[in-house]
Amino acid sequence: MQRALLDPERSALVSEEPAWKYSLENHPRRTITLADDLLVGGQSGNTILMAGPCSVESEDQIRSVAKMLVERGVRVLRAGCFKPRTSPYNFMGLGLEGLKLLSAVREEFGLKIITEVRDSTQVDVVIEHADIVQIGAKAMWDYGILAAVGKSNKPVMVKRAFGATLRELAQIAEFILDAGNDNVMVCERGIRSFEPYTRFTLDLCGVAWLKQHTNLPVILDPSHAMGYRYGIPDLSRACVAMGVDGLIIESHPCPEEALSDSSQQLSFAEFGAMHDSLRPVADAVGRRLV
Ligand code: PEP
Ligand code: MN
């Protein structure tokens, strides 16, 4: 089939399917090194837990989450400072002040940090403060962000836009890989379906496709998919049973008072019970929960 793909910068006319860098046919599974003893994807067999509050809200809040994670052996703290919101009247995050708090807890607790960029003007400062740059579902198609993260070697996690096909997600990862950054993982966080009772619909069939056809580490985010605390432990166990490379779970010292995503954040007790229940599931499918 003739497939014309015109790239003005390369002035090339490609008449066949490109050798997609994301494809498992063309490249072995990618491994992302967060530390010598903390690998994501590839043959590592690790399922990495990345947890924390939806937003950084204060020094006390983020330190208490960091302390809880370290006590449980969780290695990656996830919290947002630049929050994309559906209303301009909602809390948009602490911005640079929040990034500085994250850097401080990284120093104090030895945690790795994943946090989000909302637009391309924040990429450099987020790269400076984070170990993984998160591109949120609403920013998946922001080509300014893709170009900026593509220029660095910093690990990037792209979340699937809730209206994007799997191929669209994989091709967005391709923009970053093609720009020279090999450290790309993708995240399924629920797609929009006809069902209003849950916030989104976690696409586990899509996860099977990503594992079968791409070489990208696959991260699952049951918190944003479900939208309600009660479903998250069951979904997390299902995700671990699928042998995913990582999980994002939201947890807050006092979820009822959270400034964003209050209904889906787990209390520390709920998080602990869920965490304890994941290990036997990981063992059963030959994964190491980190
Ligand atoms: C988030 O991860 O904090 C978030 C806003 O999720 P999403 O981009 O998937 O909506
Ligand atoms: Mn959130």
Is residue 189 in some structural domain? yes
Q: Which of 100, 105, 99, 134 is closest to 118 using CA atoms?
A: 134
Q: How far is the CA of 73 from the centre of ligand 1 (A)?
A: 24
In a domain, 8, yes or no: no
- For residue 263, the ligand closest to its alpha carbon is 2
Q: Which residues pair with 136 in a beta bridge?
A: none
Tell me whether residue 129 is in a domain: yes
The answer to the question of residue 20 being in a domain is: no
Please, which residues bridge with residue 246 across strands? Answer: 48, 219
Q: What is the CATH number of the domain that holds 101?
A: 3.20.20.70
Instruction: Please answer whether residues 176 and 149 qualify as being in contact, where contact means their C-beta atoms are separated by less than 8 angstroms.
Output: yes
Q: CA 273 to CA 200: how far, in whole Å?
A: 24
What are the helix and strand counts (H, E) for the chain? 9, 13
Q: How far apart are the first and last CA of the chain?
A: 45
Cβ–ligand 1 contact at 136 (below 6 Å): yes
15 or 108: which leads in pLDDT = 108
pLDDT digits (tens, 9 = 90+) for 30-52: 999 999 999 999 999 999 999 99
Ligand closest to 260 (CA) is: 2
Q: Quick one: average pLDDT of 60-66?
A: 98
Residue 224 Cβ < 6 Å to ligand 1: yes
Decide whether any atom of ligand 1 lies within 6 Å of the 160 Cβ. no
Q: Is the pLDDT of residue 90 over 70?
A: yes
Give the distance (Å) from ligand 2 centre to CA of residue 285.
28
Could you tell me the distance, in angstroms and rounded to a whole number, from the CA of residue 202 to the centre of ligand 1? Answer: 13
54 lines ligand 1 (CB under 6 A): yes
Q: Does residue 13 fall inside a structural domain?
A: no
Q: Nearest CA to 49 among 69, 33, 71?
A: 69
**The pLDDT of residue 15 is above 70:** no
pLDDT band per the 50, 70, 90 thresholds, residue 3: very low
Nearest ligand to the CA of 86 is 1
Residue 11 lies in a domain: no
In a domain, 14, yes or no: no
In a domain, 21, yes or no: no
Cβ(172)–Cβ(139) below 8 Å: no
On the CB side of 290, how many CA atoms lie within 13 Å of its CA?
Answer: 22
User: Which residues on neighbouring strands pair with residue 13, listed in sequence order?
Assistant: 6
Helix (H, G, I), strand (E, B) or coil at 20: coil
Domain that holds residue 161: 27-289
* 170 pLDDT more than 50: yes
Separation CA 65–CA 233 (nearest Å): 18
Q: How many domains does the chain have?
A: 1
pLDDT the model gives residue 16: 79
